[in-house]
Structure 1
Amino acid sequence: MDAVDIGYLSLIACFLLLVIPLLVSHYLKLGIIHETIVSASRMIVQLAFVGVFLTVLFDLNNSIVNLLWLLVMVLAATHSTINDVGLDLRKLLLPTLASFIIGNFLVILYFNTFVVNLEHLFDARYLIPIFGMFLGNSLRGNIVSISNFYDTIRRNENRYLYSLSLGAKKHEAILPYARKSLNLALKPSIASMSTIGLVALPGMMTGQIIAGSSPILAIKYQMAIMVGIYVSTVMTVAIGIFMTMRFSFDDYGILKEDVFKSTSA
């Protein structure tokens, strides 16, 4: 059974629901009316473009083109991460990019080979949406971990330097901050795995059921996806912190100020 189509008038009716948060913002003076309208508009334009593009991509289903699109996705995620945490793009582009590539490409290759058992590993129908789920979650994890890592060291600079002055090696002084940041970034993924199905039905599972798949098949896919998301997030945030460290600290373990985005006019 195919999913019930949502007509354009029905989609307009859906967007009318946004009147509710806009009214709440107006009366409570939350100041999110403009932000909500801009975000919704960007979503419409971006998803319309992606919908047309993916239709062409799926019809073409060329491995090289599919991989190039994944690279575009990774570059966008890298830029978003560095920009959101206030670091210098030129200095940390390569290590951050490497963390996304290693953490997500290895997992998607393993996933398509041994879990889904695809004959065509780079089949666009599986490769792009599943990779997108892995990448989106590792993006959020990287932003949380890297942001917390560098902010915490800057806020506790005296304590960090004191550890170095007592004879701690660079990795020994840094490790407590890295450990705390990794734990913070991974807690949402752990919480999602422990409550999935009870608190909420995730998007992929819901989409498959609506599209006509049996609940059991949807559950098996969702379990596999959740494991893949968790593993790719762990790998990406761990590699992200430890690879950017090589460019962010000098030989004496001092954090370089030029790795942060300049705030000058």
Structure 2
Amino acid sequence: MKWPKFRQPWLQSDQPSTTDPFTIDVFGVTARGLVRRQNQDDFYVSEAPPFFMVADGLGGLQEGAVASYLAVQRATETLTLAWDKNRWAWHPYMGPRPDSNPSGIPELIVGKAFHRAHFDLLAVTGRSQMITDMGTTLCLALLDDRRIVYGNLGDSRVYLLRDRKLRCLTVDDTEAMPLLQRGEISKQAYESHPLRNTLTKRLGGPESHLPSVKALELQSGDMILLCTDGLYGMIQEERIRVVLLNEGHDAKWKANQLLMLAELAGGEDNISVVVAHLT
């Protein structure tokens, strides 16, 4: 597989790939939406090695599209180099090998992908006289045998559909999130809170670039959704759940259906969606 040097409207193999112990049907899509003049989102899907990511360039800063593109490219490069003989392994390119239990290497690789993406953005702004500040969210997940290892920075999300229930696995890095965590506002109030769009972490800025990295055991039938806020900001999680539960349709149909619903609801932001179904 050749890695793209530009954003692709979609990326999927003709047949589901087999990555022991699961068969993966995965599809990603991005769109400008109906209001924004430029698409500043980016995404990438890889079946071998098995990983997926979405990024949302910050429109309030300079060159949001460049920021999301660079972050996705650097993270993709890092993860690709870390795939050796059908397993995740520390690559010399990533620096000295940490003194860690081998079972924790995938988590360290995810953290390194964020680290390298962050410092790539800082290097660009440091060399440019035209760009003084740019930033992006990043949300990525890799499959490690029967586990998903995922990380996020900003407000892009990873969801898990299991036993007909949709659960958000990530925690938004926003100023409104502590209010929700302390029980001062409801989940419904959080989604419309004015501080929900104010990020406390991002790639490329002075804020912390350390992602939250976690892992979860997977089961056959699980469905993973990665998305930017252009999706969940426009349609409720229950509608997302109903689309993902639609039997008889593949990941491509579900991703495109979610994008269409977000646009029908107003399409006020760029929209990026990756759906992965494990069987």
TM-score (norm 2): 0.25
Q: Which has the higher strand share?
A: 2
Higher normalized helix content (fraction of residues)? 1
TM-score normalized with structure 1 length = 0.26
Is the radius of gyration larger for structure 1 or structure 2? 1
